[in-house]
Chains A and B, each alone.
Chain A
Amino acid sequence: MSTQVLLVLAAPLFGIGVYGALSQQSFVMIMMGLELMLNGAILAAATFWSLSAGGTPKGQLLAVVVMAVMAVEAAMGFALVVNVYRIRKADITEKLKALRG
Chain B
Amino acid sequence: MREIVFWAMAIAAVVTAWRVFRADSMVRAAYWLMASFVAVGVILVLLGAEFLGLVLLLMMAGEMTIMAVFMVMFMMNPAGLNPMTMVHQHRTSIVAGVVAFAGLAGVGILGRFPDARVSEPDRATAQLGGELLGDSMLVFETAGVALLATMIGALAIASSKGRYGGADEGSAPPELGRAGEPPTTKAGERDTGEQRAGQHEAEDEHAGHGGTMSGMEM
Across the two chains, which residue of chain B brings its CB closest to A31?
A: B67
The answer to whether B131 touches A67, judged by C-beta atoms less than 8 angstroms apart, is no
Residues of B within 8 A of A86 (CB): 160, 193, 197
Q: Could you tell me how many residues of chain A have their Cβ less than 8 Å away from some Cβ of chain B?
A: 75
How long is the Cα–Cα vector from A81 to B75 in the complex, in angstroms? 11
The answer to whether A47 touches B158, judged by C-beta atoms less than 8 angstroms apart, is no
The answer to whether B96 touches A18, judged by C-beta atoms less than 8 angstroms apart, is yes
B82 touches A (CB below 8 Å): no
How long is the Cα–Cα vector from A32 to B86 in the complex, in angstroms? 14
The answer to whether A19 touches B93, judged by C-beta atoms less than 8 angstroms apart, is yes
Pick the residue among A53, A78, A83 that contacts B116 (CB under 8 A): A53
List of 9 A-B pairs having minimum Cβ-Cβ separation, nearest first: A7-B108, A15-B101, A19-B97, A55-B118, A23-B93, A57-B131, A11-B104, A79-B154, A54-B116
Q: Which residues of A contact B (CB under 8 A)?
A: 1, 3-20, 22-26, 28-29, 31-33, 35-36, 39-40, 42-43, 46-55, 57-58, 60-61, 63-65, 67-68, 70-72, 74-76, 78-83, 85-87, 91-94, 100-101
Q: Which residues of B contact A (CB under 8 A)?
A: 2-3, 6, 10, 13-14, 17-18, 20-21, 26, 29-30, 33, 36-37, 40, 43-44, 46-49, 51-52, 55-56, 59, 63, 66-67, 70-71, 74-76, 86-90, 92-94, 96-98, 100-105, 107-109, 111, 113-121, 124, 127-128, 130-132, 136, 139-140, 143, 146-147, 150-151, 153-155, 157-158, 160, 174, 193, 197, 200, 203-204
